[in-house]
Amino acid sequence: MNRSYVSAFRFLLLVFAVLSCFVVLLGRLYYLHVVQHERLAGLADKARNRVQVVNARRGDIVDARGNLLATTNAVYTIGLDPHSLKEEDYAKIPEIARLLDLPEAKLTEAFDTRYRLGSGEAGKEPRAIRWTKLAENVEEPVYEQLSALGVRAVYGNRQYMRVYPGGELAAHVLGYVNKEAQPVMGVESYLDFYLRGQDGWHESERDGRRQELAQFRRREVEATNGLSVELSLSASIQHAVEEEVRRVVAEFNPQAVTIIVGEPATGYILAMANYPSFDPNHFWDFPIDAQRNRAVTDMFEPGSTFKIVPAAAALNEGLVKADTVFDCAAPTAEYKGRTIKLPGDAHRMEDLTVEEIVYKSSNRGAAQLGILLGEQKLYQYARAFGYGEASGYAPSPEAPGTLHPVSAWDGLTISRLPMGHAVSATPIQVHAAMGSVANGGVLMEPQVVRRVFDESGETVVRFAPRARRRAVTPETAAQICDMLEKVVGGEGTAKRAFIEDYAVAGKTGTTQKIIDGRYSSQHHVASFSGFFPADSPRLVITVVVDDPEMRGPAYGGLVAAPAFRNVAKHCISTLGIPPVETDAELVSASGITPSSLAENSARTRPIATAF
């Protein structure tokens, strides 16, 4: 029998090759487990461990009666892991397609597609599909029905979506939350600290299929939902105001419209609407200019609505009485040793009392009141009524208006400022100034937020009414109120603001716009600011219409006063403001004395009850 010959060289070569492989393997193991231990262990932990943020639910925004103005809905993005499918899951395709509103063919294709071709230098190597998005913004009830089907391969990731049920309702007051979940303008931005809540998180492990192993959760912090906000707005009044804005736009095609409704005694805003406006649910579909809250940003010369300032100032200083007479036919007046040309009136006027100057809206009469006051007093009272400074409305950036210091006045300012020229104001400033007359001479800070409250309804933060200052005495305010009532009377400029059985007080404004550096006779800002019932004011309503299209001057009494009346009538029915009442028991309950009734026997007024 022959013995096989074994080459010693080949045997040693084989042994060396095997030993070399073991050395390389041991070297690789040493490199991975010793040299690269920390880095690779970190990668493994990162792959297995997961810190997931649990989003907090943003708080609601409601009106004064609890009606939802902004809320947060839980929605789900639904996806599919085709590698987790079971054979019996295919029978549930029709029901899943129905719930997600998808074609069955498309869903079947997603079930069957488990790999996709790779890209780049790796070539066309197939890659496993672990997530295929089927639908997004799926509401929670639908997701619960989907989960009940028991298809583990189909699951959803929850997120919150901000919803504004009223659409454009109070859009400029509310603001909105953008697609990056950042609050933009309005109450959403102003009170974001309270509304947003505090996100939670949990740390857990995942298996090889990246599914969570809930039993291995290590740490977990629950999310704290945001607090809710109650506004002073009335959804019903806000809706009526926005309907009136649309009517004004349809009739006059103006560049802009603002209507504000508020309580003079508290400064709370019940409605604030602008044109142009936008829908915060689809804010991206509207020009950025439509998002501007014109009630607090747009400035205009207030015109005759400003005349309450020189009239109240002269009365408050004791320089005149309501029946003091001025020659309103005079073209000039003397001031500090020089002759000043007085502004003209819409039609010729002769001798007028202070009361007539107000309700007939005489420019020359107002100018003479300003001259009588002097520069410093006129400026001080204009500031006292809130002109030239921000009103304090917090939810939106606010323009302060323009009221130049006396040192910057020219020779005509003393005669032009009293008629509402040489000064600019926002609608909210005009509204607050008129509100101070209705509030017995006290200027209030406009507010739209009443309180912040928790899930149980308990108040966390209360926003109480805030008085800024006293502009004039209660007696002076009462005198101006009497004069403003006659503005809505037969000889006044706002007869279209008249409401049967209610005493209305207010002032019109008609301002020529400055076009190319000159006052235009074709472009105007028409306004009316008033309150009612005049003897015990419940509401102040301000209407500003920028550049309405009509033949002739766009007088505030023609354009803005009817809008005031329409809004006021809705407020009367909504709030239950009673009409004129002379019943003795009601008179006694109202606190009106017989002597006060005798003093006012020439006119009947409504008796207002508290809210």
Instruction: Answer yes or no: are the C-beta atoms of 484 and 358 closer than 8 Å.
Output: yes
- The answer to whether 353 and 324 are in contact (CB under 8 A) is yes
pLDDT score at 59: 95
| Two tokens, residue 162 | 């901000």
> How many Å apart are CA 596 and CA 382, to the nearest integer?
31
3-state DSSP assignment of residue 198:
strand
* CA-closest candidate to residue 113, choices 153, 158, 156: 153
Q: Which residues of 140-158 are buried (b: 16+ CB within 10 A; e: fewer)?
A: eebbeebeeeebeebbbee
End-to-end CA distance of the chain: 124
* Residues 6 or more apart in contact with residue 265 via CB below 8 angstroms: 439, 444, 465, 537
Give Cα 69 to chain centroid, integer Å.
11
The structural domains of the chain, with segments of one domain joined by +, span: 52-83+114-119+128-231, 235-577
Distance CA 233, CA 1 (A): 113
Half-sphere exposure of 101 (CA within 13 A, CB side): 7
Please state whether 300 falls in left (phi above 0), alpha (psi between -120 and 50) or beta: beta
Task: Tell me the HSE value of 28 on the side-chain side, using a 13 A CA sphere.
Answer: 6
Residue 204: the pLDDT is 64
Closest CA to 360 of 347, 371, 375: 347
**CA 173, 174, 177 angle in degrees (round to 5)?**
145
Q: Give Cβ neighbours of residue 535 (< 8 Å, ≥ 6 apart).
A: 503, 592, 600, 605, 606, 607, 608
Tell me whether the omega of the peptide bond preceding residue 395 falls within 30 degrees of 0, making it cis. no
Biggest alpha carbon–alpha carbon distance for the chain = 152
C-alpha–C-alpha distance, residues 514 and 255, integer Å: 15
Please tell me the distance from the alpha carbon of residue 303 to that of residue 483, in angstroms, as a whole number.
17
Can you give the pLDDT at residue 588?
39
**Helix/strand/coil percentages in the chain, nearest 5:** 40, 25, 35
Contacts with 42 (C-beta within 8 Å, 6 or more apart), sequence order: none
Residue-level pLDDT at 207: 57
Q: Which CATH superfamily is domain 235-577 in?
A: DD-peptidase/beta-lactamase superfamily (3.40.710.10)
Query: At CB < 8 A and 24+ separation, what contacts does 107-112 make?
Result: 107/134, 110/80, 110/82, 110/134, 111/80, 111/82, 111/85, 112/82
What is the sign of the dihedral through the CA atoms of 57, 59, 62 and 66? positive
Per-10-residue mean pLDDT, the chain, length 611: 64 83 84 76 63 81 96 88 87 90 89 74 68 86 89 83 94 94 95 91 60 54 90 98 98 97 98 97 95 96 96 97 95 92 90 95 96 96 97 94 96 95 96 98 98 95 97 97 93 92 95 83 92 95 96 91 97 91 38 36 30 23
Q: Where are the alpha helices (DSSP H) in 281-426?
A: 294-297, 308-316, 354-359, 363-373, 375-384, 413-416
Helix or strand run (H / E) with residue 128: strand 126-128
Q: How far apart are CA 610 and CA 354, in angstroms?
A: 33
Class of domain 52-83+114-119+128-231: alpha beta
> pLDDT at position 156, please?
84
Beta bridge partners of 258: 274, 544
The H-or-E segment that residue 273 falls in is strand 269-275
Nearest to 235 by CA among 164, 166, 163, 162: 166
Per the structure block, which two tokens stand in for 385?
């009524």
For β-strands 176-177 and 154-163, DSSP reports them as unpaired
Q: Which residues pair with 275 in a beta bridge?
A: 257
For 477-517, list the strands marked E by DSSP.
505-515
